[in-house]
Structure 1
Amino acid sequence: MNQISAVPGRAALPLLDTEVLRTFVAIAESGSFTRAARLVFRTPSALSMQIKRLEEMLGQTLFVREARQVRLTAEGEMLLGYGRRLLKLNEEAVTQFLAPSLEGRVGLGTTDDVGTRILPGVLSQFARSHPAVQVDVVVGSSVEMLKRLDSGELDLALVTAGMNGQTTIGEVVHSEPLVWVGREGGVAARRTPLPVALANHGCPWRKIALDVLDHAGVDYRVAYTCEHCAGQEAAMLSDLAVAPFPLALIRSPLRRLEQGSLPPLGDYQVALVRRDGLGSAGEVLAERVVEAFNDLRS
């Protein structure tokens, strides 16, 4: 039965049930009532009834039912974002009162391109839920983060991995296009040899870029080498070079170079690597990081 929210001067609205939201999110993420039923330990018919009542309550069709799968409607995609946030908030509230108190220290390493996107929100939420846990963050190259992980300085590391299809260490949590980028109205992309700004040796972006340029026979020179992607950005802003750069990080006056002007780079991946024997505080933080990347895709 739906609970009713009564606000003076406003028509009462039904409240979304967290169990129904959990069912909805499971179906959306698995693409199947049958697979979702196994995840929430209910029958497919029970799930179908829950979704029917939810659709009736909202007055919207949430799924398009096809022969072997279901997919979200536009309204379903909108509800998925709300549903994930509501479930996360519910978990955070319950954890605050019922979960065993976490204590200790977690060392988290990340590359700068990743850290600026998801860590502020993750660390803020984690600090509210588990104030007794100290999180120390280190920003550096993927190679450096893995070395620190092996030495025991870090418990978790977010590292840049290779292209899709390649074997990577850890759990792949994100994938996005790597594209050629230069300054709007700049001339660097028209120079010969092509001036390229790259990260230091060991960075997968560097290897991907040099491999495709060599394979395509493009005449180039490494004009700028830096530790962080902020250095690549500076080189592009100064119109000193073009660079391989994540599509999501492009900001004016930088722009993606016309497709076909340079060989495509494909997608790159971000992996979360855990230290052997990771404690409970580290595992909880790892879960929050994975959820944050899931939210980027929703």
Structure 2
Amino acid sequence: MINLDISLLRSFLTIARPGSIRAAADRVGRTQSAVSLQLKRLEDITGEQLFHRTGSGVTLTISGERFMVGAERILSAHDETLAQIRSQGLRGAISFGCPEDYLTAFFPDLLRRYGQDNPDVEIEIICAPTIELRPMLQQRRIDLALVSVPGTDPTDTFIRREPLVWIASSASPDLLTAPVLPLALAAPKTVDHRLACQVLDAAARPYRIAHASNGLAGLLAIARSGQAISVATRAALPDDLYMIEDGLPALPEIGITLAYATTRPAPPARDFGDFILDHLRRVAPPANAGPQDGAA
């Protein structure tokens, strides 16, 4: 009878998620050769090739994809059983994806509180827009993610809704009088990019994409420079930038929802997800609309 070593299953998943033996070795604190040997041992036990080796890393074979579903189920049951009988609380590692807006607005305090209560849970954070996080979930490269959807989407159950706002270096920038409005937006398929363009098209307001950045920091830097108007969630509006309330069509709200890579997440992933849900439902909407009078 063939027995599967739990440590081999963990190594397998650690390789499969980033698609890199080097990244997996760094995460588990072992050499690449040691991780490669574990992978070879697992393939010998199963009698199947689980990965295709490529110049840039590894990808799952069809057998590897089938094996991954079972490996996650076994590890989830294993970890849940141990968590129930151990008094010291949860242990394990989580790979969590989150757009930069939400990470900046909500997670400093959330991570501090969760870390204090669960010191043995390691959390890897992948900061990326929703259009990049969804494929990562499908490929099980991350365990769970906070993602954006249009606020009118009837298929999603939202944790909360966040208003999108126009942001600039002043409340009434001269850019508003430009015949063609210069914008700084994220990638074209992102929710905020699509919604910003939709409301301007509906208002017949001419505009051009003057600057593009997939990172919130880049968009905020462009807004601070006064070269373009950008878009962000109101919760992510920093104290030194202004929300434009007049002169542009109002932006809609977007919905925030939590998505898992599997219907049976491991206990640490489920516990962290429940903590996120509870925290975000309690956080009050931001009251700030930019700098106060006299601020820089």
Report the alpha carbon displacement of residue 275 of structure 1 after superposing the two structures with TM. 1.8
Alignment match, 2:122: 134
Alignment match, 2:138: 150
1:201 is aligned to 2:188:
yes
One-letter amino acid matched to 2:242: R
8 Å CA contact retained: 2:105, 2:235: no
Deviations 1:172-224 (A, max 9, x none): 21212112222116322221200011101221000000011111111110111
Deviations 1:67-125 (A, max 9, x none): xxxxxxxxxxxxxxxxxxxxxxxxxxxx9x98673222111000111012222222222
Report the alpha carbon displacement of residue 252 of structure 1 after superposing the two structures with TM. 4.2
8 Å CA contact retained: 2:97, 2:142: yes
Seen in structure 2, the aligned counterparts of structure 1 residues 98 and 125 have a Cα distance that, compared at 3 Å, is farther
Measure, in 2, the Cα distance between the counterparts of 1:201 and 1:117. Answer: 23
Alignment match, 1:174: 160
Alignment match, 1:243: 230
Alignment match, 1:273: 259
Measure, in 2, the Cα distance between the counterparts of 1:99 and 1:162. Answer: 42
1:224 is aligned to 2:211:
yes
Aligned residues: 200
Report the alpha carbon displacement of residue 274 of structure 1 after superposing the two structures with TM. 1.3
Seen in structure 2, the aligned counterparts of structure 1 residues 133 and 248 have a Cα distance that, compared at 3 Å, is closer
Measure, in 2, the Cα distance between the counterparts of 1:281 and 1:187. Answer: 50
1:296 is aligned to 2:283:
yes
SS at match of 1:265: coil
- Which has more strand, going by share of residues? 1
Measure, in 2, the Cα distance between the counterparts of 1:248 and 1:101. Answer: 32
Measure, in 2, the Cα distance between the counterparts of 1:127 and 1:182. Answer: 35
8 Å CA contact retained: 2:166, 2:229: yes
Measure, in 1, the Cα distance between the counterparts of 2:192 and 2:168. Answer: 16
One-letter amino acid matched to 1:202: K
Give unpaired runs (5+ residues) of structure 1.
1-94
SS at match of 1:172: coil
Structural RMSD (CA): 2.2
Report the alpha carbon displacement of residue 249 of structure 1 after superposing the two structures with TM. 2.7
Report the alpha carbon displacement of residue 128 of structure 1 after superposing the two structures with TM. 2.3
Seen in structure 2, the aligned counterparts of structure 1 residues 150 and 210 have a Cα distance that, compared at 3 Å, is same
TM-score of the superposition, structure 2-length normalised? 0.63
State which drifts further: 119-128 or 276-285.
119-128
Structure 1's consecutive aligned runs of 4 or more residues displaced over 3 angstroms after TM superposition are: 97-100
Alignment match, 1:48: none
Measure, in 2, the Cα distance between the counterparts of 1:258 and 1:162. Answer: 21
1:119 to 93, 107, 112: 107
Seen in structure 2, the aligned counterparts of structure 1 residues 253 and 125 have a Cα distance that, compared at 3 Å, is closer
One-letter amino acid matched to 2:254: Y
Seen in structure 2, the aligned counterparts of structure 1 residues 105 and 251 have a Cα distance that, compared at 3 Å, is closer
Measure, in 2, the Cα distance between the counterparts of 1:253 and 1:285. Answer: 32
8 Å CA contact retained: 1:195, 1:220: yes
